[in-house]
Amino acid sequence: MNIIVCIKQVIAGDQVKIDPHTHRIVRSAEFSRINPFDLCALAMAVRLKKEYSGTMTAVTMGPEISEEVLWEALAIGADRAVLLSDPRFATSDTLATSYVLGMGVRKIGKYDLILCGMRTTDSGTAQVGPQLAEELNIPHVTGVERVEGKENLFRVERTSDGFREIAEVSSPALFTVSSKIGMRTPSLIEIEDTFTRYTIERWNLEDLDADPAKVGSDGSRTWVEELIPIAKQKSCAFIEGEPRQQAKSLFAKLMDKNLLS
């Protein structure tokens, strides 16, 4: 089974800063890390690789510092790592990002399965996985918790709206992986070992034979026009009286605020 895992480098949640002029996230190697949800996709890929044999390729799009997450993916169990990096890819929205990733997948060649994290911690749109599947014209399932390989088919399970869903999906396919399956992080020794065993391939726009009109700002259909900070206000009110009267007063206050119907 040949597996491709799409991962992303994100900024730690408490260190996210927005440039007030460009409305972009200010990125730095110091506060960057692998997207936690992608660790679940990598963990599932490792399990499937062990069970069905085959190859595992990690792919990310980003600046040169993004190669750090690829070293981590190699330490976890990937056999190959590809960095899609070009200044012209900057400011890509999810649609343009999916196009670049799609061109990267096409260049990688034959694959049976693509795995992605459910979402990213820096934007949380959960759009790239499904959009990548549409770009490649392959079936996809989101929030997958279990994958079983069959002949030209995958049997997948997930939980949706409180129900357990089971589906059979033809290969090749793309799944976003639920965080319920857990994650695996490599040890420092494993990370150190990757630097002697592997290299990272780097592909730019020309390497991918990509259309410059479909990447970056030109290829994006969404953008940030304005950022408005929201001030949070809290207040505390004590309800006097006996327990029964307190319950009635609380119920009335919730009704007035349309919090109960």
Q: Is the pLDDT of residue 15 over 60?
A: no
The residue assigned the tokens 């490599």 is: 186
Cα dihedral value 89, 90, 91, 96, nearest 10: 10
| pLDDT confidence band for 121 (50 / 70 / 90) | confident
Q: What is the pLDDT of residue 27?
A: 65
Number of separate domains in the chain: 1
Q: Is the pLDDT of residue 205 over 70?
A: yes
Both tokens assigned to 235: 């207040």
Residue 21 is classified by DSSP as T
The residue assigned the tokens 């890390």 is: 33
Residue 231 lies in a domain: no
CA distance 186 to 208: 30
Residue 236 lies in a domain: no
CA distance 140 to 126: 13
Average pLDDT (31-56) is 92
| pLDDT confidence band for 64 (50 / 70 / 90) | very high
What is the DSSP track for 167-192? EEEESSEEEEEPGGG------HHHHH
Domain region containing 205: 2-219
Least confident of 13-22, 139-148, 249-258: 13-22
Residue 240 lies in a domain: no
Average pLDDT (24-33) is 66
CA distance 77 to 4: 12
CA distance 148 to 154: 6
Percent of the chain with pLDDT over 90: 67
Average pLDDT (138-159) is 94
> pLDDT tens digits, residue range 69-99?
999 999 999 999 999 999 999 989 999 999 9
| pLDDT confidence band for 13 (50 / 70 / 90) | low
Residue 249 lies in a domain: no
Q: What is the pLDDT of residue 81?
A: 97
Q: What is the pLDDT of residue 16?
A: 61
Q: Which amino acid, 109? A: G
Residue 56 lies in a domain: yes
Omega prior to 87 cis, within 30 of 0: no
CB 180 within 8 A of CB 142: no
Residue 82 lies in a domain: yes
CA distance 255 to 259: 6
Least confident of 28-37, 154-163, 202-211: 28-37
Q: What is the pLDDT of residue 23?
A: 55
> pLDDT tens digits, residue range 169-196?
999 999 999 999 888 788 888 888 899 9
Both tokens assigned to 244: 């029964």
Averaged pLDDT score across all residues of the chain: 90
CB 49 within 8 A of CB 80: no
CATH of the domain at 61: 3.40.50.620
Q: Is the pLDDT of residue 50 over 90?
A: yes
Least confident of 139-143, 212-216, 225-229, 239-243: 225-229
Residue 237 lies in a domain: no
